[in-house]
Amino acid sequence: MRGSPSFLPSDSMEFGSALWMLASYLSLAALFVLLAWGIYYDITRTYVPTDIQQYAKLRFFNFLSKYAVGLGMAYERLGICQRYTVWRIMFNGIPLLKKSSALIIKDLLFDDVPVRVYWPKTSSSGNRRGMIYLHGGVGLFGSIKAYERVNRYISRRSDSVVVCVGFRLAPENPFPLPVLDCCTATIHFLKNATKYGVDPNRIAVCGDSSGGTFAAAVCQHLATKKDLPKLRAQLLIYPFLQAVDFNLPSYQQNHSIPVLFKKRAIKWGATYLTGRIVNVDGLMKNAHVPQDLQVKYKKWVSADHIPDEFKARGYVPLEPAPFCEELYESCKEGFHPMFSPLLAEEDVIRQLPETFLLTCEYDVVRDDGLLYKKRLEDNGVPVTWHHVKDGFHGILFLIDFGPLEFKCTRQHFRYVINFLKCL
């Protein structure tokens, strides 16, 4: 009818197009605001020492890690997926699609635990040395896929058969399940070494970060086993080793240095331990440790055992906060040696194999390594120690990442390879 209002299809399409364009502009603006806020937050809340090589690159990776953490939490709040799903995808990094011309690589099961085995293609006059590799990621993320470059590099450079273990992850499978998977896979490898072309008396266990924790725990668990070949060595790369004192000098000095901040490390460690998110304010002040355990563990975990040179950057002794019974009850399994290997008894420590230990100056868990070095040496265990004076947590992870690799990564990885070659 003449005079009646009409809405033509073209009008509707134009209106919809305008709305879509407006939404796109708003999304883009929100992205820029989020990016600007992230950069500001990173600059104001993060301290990167200027003597660290490639200072700007570390800031870039720190920003990416914070973005991944924030993205995971946002997706969880929106009901899209768990935060850990996002973190695991991001941690896997850039896929390595190219086959290795120097290695044979197979995915297998060691008593139902998934592993990936790397064999050098070069001929060998006899059985090779072998190594179990336990990846980092605080028991929450990390994977065989994420550590593909690390394991290929070790196998190629050391002419060793390397087994990377795909243990279960928390919070779905909290402590002690991940480390028990590592024990299962290691026992299988020791019992069946010759099937994989490996000398059972030349097998080492290696791990970085929480993987270093697992490696230390596996060695302790197997140290007293009489029905297995003895592990030849353990290689612990910037490991977390104790949950007694989170105010050691390295925790104080490096609390805001990327990529492992003090609060983030304790929060993730508590989630791995308990399978849930824990308020860590009390843990950060050592309020979870009762007086009797403070006295018991002081002989092993104390700033008194840290050389003075590592206290120079402003360390101040702090009194623990008042004891919190509820916090202790929720986290008391953290004193188990399988979670805190530094707390193992002397009769276990003295049976441990030769050890390679790598620590980094700008790392919250640096002093865990220093304290474990002392315990091992005090009990007659040979220790080869390499300290990276300008290093930070995770420095070796980016090996073979091309331009993303840090200049000093290969230089310090050489110490790991040289130690392994001597076994």
The pLDDT of residue 161 is: 98
The pLDDT of residue 325 is: 96
The mean pLDDT of the chain is 91
Inter-residue contact 400 to 152 (CB < 8 Å): yes
Kindly report the pTM of this predicted structure. Answer: 0.91
* CATH superfamily to which 103-243+334-421 belongs: Alpha/Beta hydrolase fold, catalytic domain (3.40.50.1820)
pLDDT in tens, 240-289: 999 999 999 999 999 999 999 999 999 999 999 999 988 999 999 999 99
Q: Where are the domains of the chain?
A: 14-92, 103-243+334-421
The pLDDT of residue 133 is: 98
**Residue 55, H or E segment:** helix 55-77
Residues marked active site are found at 209, 363, 393
Q: From the CB of residue 105, how many other CB atoms can be counted at a distance below 10 Å?
A: 16
Residue of 398, 359, 343, 345 lying closest to 54 (CA atoms) = 398
Return the bridge partners of 110, or none.
113
Report how far apart, in Å, the C-alpha atoms of 376 and of each of 210, 271, 342, 384 are: 19, 29, 10, 11
**Rg for the chain, CA atoms, rounded:** 24
The pLDDT of residue 103 is: 97
The pLDDT of residue 190 is: 98
Inter-residue contact 165 to 185 (CB < 8 Å): yes
Q: Which residues of the chain have pLDDT under 70?
A: 1-19, 22-44
**What is the rounded distance in angstroms from the CA atom of residue 283 to the CA atom of residue 423?**
40
Residue 37 is encoded by which pair of tokens? Answer: 């806020």
